[in-house]
Structure 1
Amino acid sequence: MNIVTPPILVGEDEAFEQDVLGRSNFGQSLLNLVSQSSDELVISLDGKWGEGKTTFVKMWQGMLNQAEIPSIYIDAFANDYIDDAFIAVASAITTYIEENSVNPDAEKSKEFSEKAKHVGVQLLSWTAKVGIKAATLGAIKDSDIEELRDIQSDVAKGLSTVVGDFVGERLASHKQDVELLQSFKSLLSEMPSLLSPEGDKPLVIIIDELDRCKPTYAVELIEKVKHLFSVKNVVFVLVMHKKQLEEAVKCVYGANIDAHTYLQKFINIETTIPKKIGDRHDSDIKQYNKRLFALHEIETWGDGRNLVDSLDVLAIHFNLSLRQLERVYTNLAVFYASSSENQLRLVPVISFLAVIKVVDPSVYEALLHQKITYEELCQKTGLSEHDQEDRNLRRLQFLTLWLKFSLITDEQFEQLDENDRIRAFGQSLWQYSVERERLMPIFIQKLSMFTVS
């Protein structure tokens, strides 16, 4: 049995062979787009946390390798400890060129590396010595130059001779800075010609985990991608949760900025990770549910089919992400691993607790301490016991009735109509000598023995 969901390991030349979500067609369309474009292209791939963006781009990079399209994968979150985003991207490019050139041109590669160093030094000198935003060289606006002149004027009044001299130097060398940047970008545009046999393939740079970075680093990175690295023959794919990145923009520039419009300045094409959600019989969550059950190899003593069916309807009801469903399965693996075949197991209650522990810890905590009624639970979770025509909703209704059976008071139970179906639920408990009101505490205490992080 696997307690934690085994990671999907995608080989360098493996594409969508392990794809259970049917995303290969989208991957092919994205490949066609980047391979046929001759523009300075920056594409954003949007998706919420836990929707499989990283797995998709890893598989897509394998598809690029099969098509002999050179590509670089950069984990932005793993590099946000570096103060300068330029260094992270430039070093990844130079290293890749050194290791993967198939049309070697030592002089051109060396020249590009030297230009990258010079640009990096100039950028550092802007930001290290003057307290203004200077993320780019050639992209500095006239207003930025005016700001420098204002600083120089203030310095002339006696604030700092050293800084004043530096500002004057920067103003005087602005033309050279622009020329340096243009030379760097021109060389970068030529680098893909060294990376494919015919020299006619673009270089694709995938930057992942942007929404997990520090806000300042994430914003600086997309700004530098656009201003310093966006050239013909190089395509950037920025993998992000757009709403989260918009919050990062607001964090850097203030709550009043139109973050959506601001990001559009740096992105040419927007797309979204594909999801099948409308078809209850073939949604992403149903396919991944089956996949996770197989991967975890849980010994359920015959509970498997009921467990998968229960999680199907709960995942749809609570709109679980793929990552959340993984955590649910870890909870279930812990529960079954610490149980035995002859112990009482009520799948509707167990599966609900495993889900609610992930999606709403406050409700789970209230259940743990027996501080929530059945009516309050339905109100907070949107569950309903009313008759449903849809088959999946009937499953959810059945699950809800088990929660009702477990949570209502003795007085409420006695007031039930004699034909109420939950009166018969108690027959499942006879051989275990367990009282109805003890069901929820028994299962929730077992689930609480270990914390899944």
Structure 2
Amino acid sequence: MKIRLPELEIPEDAGFSRDFDMFERKAYGVRLLDIIQRADDNLVIGLDAAWGEGKSTFISMWSGHLRQNDVPLVVYDAFTNDYQESAFIALASCVYDAIPEKETERREEFLSKATSLGKILLRSSARIATRAALGVAIDDSAFESASVESEGAALVDQLIASKIAGAQQEKEERAAFRAALSELAGSGNDGSKLVFVIDELDRCRPAFALEIIECVKHFFAVPGVSFVLVMNRTQVEESVRCTYGQGIDAHTYLQKFVNLWTALPSKGNGVLSGAQLYMRNCLGRMGFEVQTQEQNVVVEQFDQLIGHYRMTLREIEKALTNFAIVSNAINSRMYSHYYILTVFLAVLKVVRPGVYADLAKELLDYKSLSERAGLVSLVDEYWSREEGCYLRFLLCGYLGTDAQRESLSDFSSLMEFRRSENPVANIIKWMETLEYT
């Protein structure tokens, strides 16, 4: 079994292929494109979903759908490129790269307008940096010298005068750039709007994320261009507070830059949730084949815990890696109770890392583990005993007091609890041999 879930490599033109669209989000993607193309105005749409809910996978499929329909498209990964200093240059470069090389005149025209505006913006940034440096270099005592005070005042005067004089030029260059971008967007034969997707805004540097969002509004939001900003909205709102202070209304601030908000739909098949379907898909990609009843127990136990803890897709991936470490370490067929305990510990390490750490240090008995791990409410409707489910029965047997074990005496499985070895401790030992990040 593979330790790490293999990357899901989606071809650029695959679209919503059944091989990849396990959550059946094609209909949602089609509606999203229809909204963009039918709107009379240029839209900035915020696509909101929590970490690990499949935002980037959806965007890869949706981008392929747009390519299949010959919709002009630009995709920018903010996280991969957050080392860049200028959001304007970064976004303008994406647009330039998207212009076909054979369209030499259009490429040169756009590059000229982008360069002119970029120079002004960079000069403005340089002036701000100079002012900051001036403030650091000259303290109150330094101004006791009349010459220093005079030179400092003169420099500030020059900066202000330059900014005022350059304001009109910046306005003109910005208008020229926006006109060039709008003309470029409308150059298609079928009149399709240019769709600009910016992914991973919640993972890049907070200041860079906000610079991109602000840059979109001030320079790139023109007729013929619509934006889809992909993010965890809660995290980006935290970036707003981090940049502008905790007192700012981050929710309202983002509203100034985004016209419409949408969220990824969750999808199941009527029996299984989307997360449970994803778990099965991941097990298959990692090479875990369900060929025995014991192996089927793995799927069933993951199903139960995924629903109980409301695990995200990213949490499921990490839990499966923990499970794979133990499965490979044992390198032999496990009994069903070992599988059940391994799945539980693999999940616990992800969703309750503090509880798992204390359990690894042998600081928890069955009662305290049940309370802290939220197992008290974990119930199997087909389990009639007071433990609530087979997992809790096993944990009671291995971690419970003598009195609690005695209550299990009418079960033939008691023989497992009399063994000198503690499978909980053994599984934790195997899981700790390798930690994948």
Mark yes or no: TM-score above 0.5: yes
Distance in 2 between the 1:192 and 1:390 partners?
60
Distance in 1 between the 2:370 and 2:97 partners?
56
- Code of the aligned partner of 1:298: F
CA shift, 1:206, in A, is: 0.8
Distance in 2 between the 1:171 and 1:275 partners?
52
Aligned to 1:434: 419
In structure 1, the residue corresponding to 2:330 is in which secondary structure? coil
CA shift, 1:425, in A, is: 2.2
Distance in 1 between the 2:190 and 2:388 partners?
57
Q: Decide whether aligned partners of structure 1 residues 275 and 390 sit closer, same or farther in structure 2, where only a CA change above 3 A counts.
A: farther
Query: Residue deviations 1:278-331, cap 9 Å, x none?
Result: x87231111111111211112677232111110011011111111111111112
> 17, 23, 26: which one pairs with 1:24?
26
Aligned to 2:218: 227
- Code of the aligned partner of 1:356: L
Distance in 2 between the 1:417 and 1:24 partners?
50
- Is residue 398 from structure 1 mapped to residue 387 from structure 2 by the alignment? no
Structural RMSD (CA) = 2.6
Aligned to 2:2: 2
Matches within 5 A, 1:159-198: 159-194=152-187, 196=188, 198=189
Matches within 5 A, 1:147-162: 159-162=152-155
CA shift, 1:426, in A, is: 2.5
Aligned to 2:274: 284
In structure 2, the residue corresponding to 1:255 is in which secondary structure? coil
- Is residue 424 from structure 1 mapped to residue 408 from structure 2 by the alignment? no
- Code of the aligned partner of 1:350: T
Matches within 5 A, 1:10-159: 10-17=10-17, 18-99=20-101, 104=103, 106-130=104-128, 159=152
Query: Residue deviations 1:133-175, cap 9 Å, x none?
Result: 9xxxxxxxxxxxxxxxxxxxxx997634234213202212312
> 282, 285, 300: which one pairs with 1:295?
285
In structure 1, the residue corresponding to 2:202 is in which secondary structure? helix
- Code of the aligned partner of 2:111: S
Q: Decide whether aligned partners of structure 1 residues 447 and 239 sit closer, same or farther in structure 2, where only a CA change above 3 A counts.
A: same
Distance in 1 between the 2:284 and 2:335 partners?
23
Aligned to 2:240: 249
Distance in 2 between the 1:328 and 1:280 partners?
24
Contact kept? 1:313, 1:395, Cα under 8 Å: no
Distance in 2 between the 1:38 and 1:386 partners?
51
Q: Decide whether aligned partners of structure 1 residues 441 and 286 sit closer, same or farther in structure 2, where only a CA change above 3 A counts.
A: same
Distance in 1 between the 2:341 and 2:414 partners?
14
Contact kept? 1:405, 1:425, Cα under 8 Å: no
In structure 2, the residue corresponding to 1:338 is in which secondary structure? helix
Alignment gaps of 5+ in structure 1: 134-154
Distance in 2 between the 1:126 and 1:386 partners?
60
Contact kept? 2:194, 2:225, Cα under 8 Å: yes
- Is residue 348 from structure 1 mapped to residue 340 from structure 2 by the alignment? yes
Q: Decide whether aligned partners of structure 1 residues 342 and 270 sit closer, same or farther in structure 2, where only a CA change above 3 A counts.
A: closer
In structure 2, the residue corresponding to 1:79 is in which secondary structure? coil
Q: Decide whether aligned partners of structure 1 residues 177 and 294 sit closer, same or farther in structure 2, where only a CA change above 3 A counts.
A: same
In structure 1, the residue corresponding to 2:331 is in which secondary structure? coil
CA shift, 1:193, in A, is: 3.1
Contact kept? 1:385, 1:398, Cα under 8 Å: no
Normalising by the residue count of structure 2, what TM-score does the alignment of the two structures yield? 0.88
Aligned to 2:262: 271
Contact kept? 1:301, 1:341, Cα under 8 Å: no
In structure 1, the residue corresponding to 2:389 is in which secondary structure? helix
Contact kept? 1:72, 1:206, Cα under 8 Å: yes
Q: Decide whether aligned partners of structure 1 residues 396 and 311 sit closer, same or farther in structure 2, where only a CA change above 3 A counts.
A: farther
In structure 1, the residue corresponding to 2:109 is in which secondary structure? helix
CA shift, 1:242, in A, is: 0.3
Distance in 2 between the 1:53 and 1:90 partners?
24
Query: Residue deviations 1:97-136, cap 9 Å, x none?
Result: 144x6xx3x4343222111011111111112112599xxx
- Code of the aligned partner of 1:14: A
Q: Decide whether aligned partners of structure 1 residues 390 and 220 sit closer, same or farther in structure 2, where only a CA change above 3 A counts.
A: farther
Q: Decide whether aligned partners of structure 1 residues 330 and 20 sit closer, same or farther in structure 2, where only a CA change above 3 A counts.
A: same
- Code of the aligned partner of 2:169: Q
Distance in 2 between the 1:245 and 1:7 partners?
26
Q: Decide whether aligned partners of structure 1 residues 342 and 183 sit closer, same or farther in structure 2, where only a CA change above 3 A counts.
A: closer
Aligned to 1:138: none
Q: Decide whether aligned partners of structure 1 residues 342 and 40 sit closer, same or farther in structure 2, where only a CA change above 3 A counts.
A: closer
Distance in 2 between the 1:446 and 1:244 partners?
35
Distance in 2 between the 1:119 and 1:359 partners?
48
- Code of the aligned partner of 1:355: V
Contact kept? 2:379, 2:388, Cα under 8 Å: no
Q: How many residues align?
A: 416
Q: Decide whether aligned partners of structure 1 residues 266 and 132 sit closer, same or farther in structure 2, where only a CA change above 3 A counts.
A: farther
- Is residue 363 from structure 1 mapped to residue 355 from structure 2 by the alignment? yes
In structure 2, the residue corresponding to 1:379 is in which secondary structure? helix
Contact kept? 1:42, 1:266, Cα under 8 Å: yes
CA shift, 1:398, in A, is: 2.1
Distance in 2 between the 1:386 and 1:239 partners?
35
> 322, 336, 350: which one pairs with 1:331?
322
Distance in 1 between the 2:100 and 2:117 partners?
19
Contact kept? 1:334, 1:450, Cα under 8 Å: yes
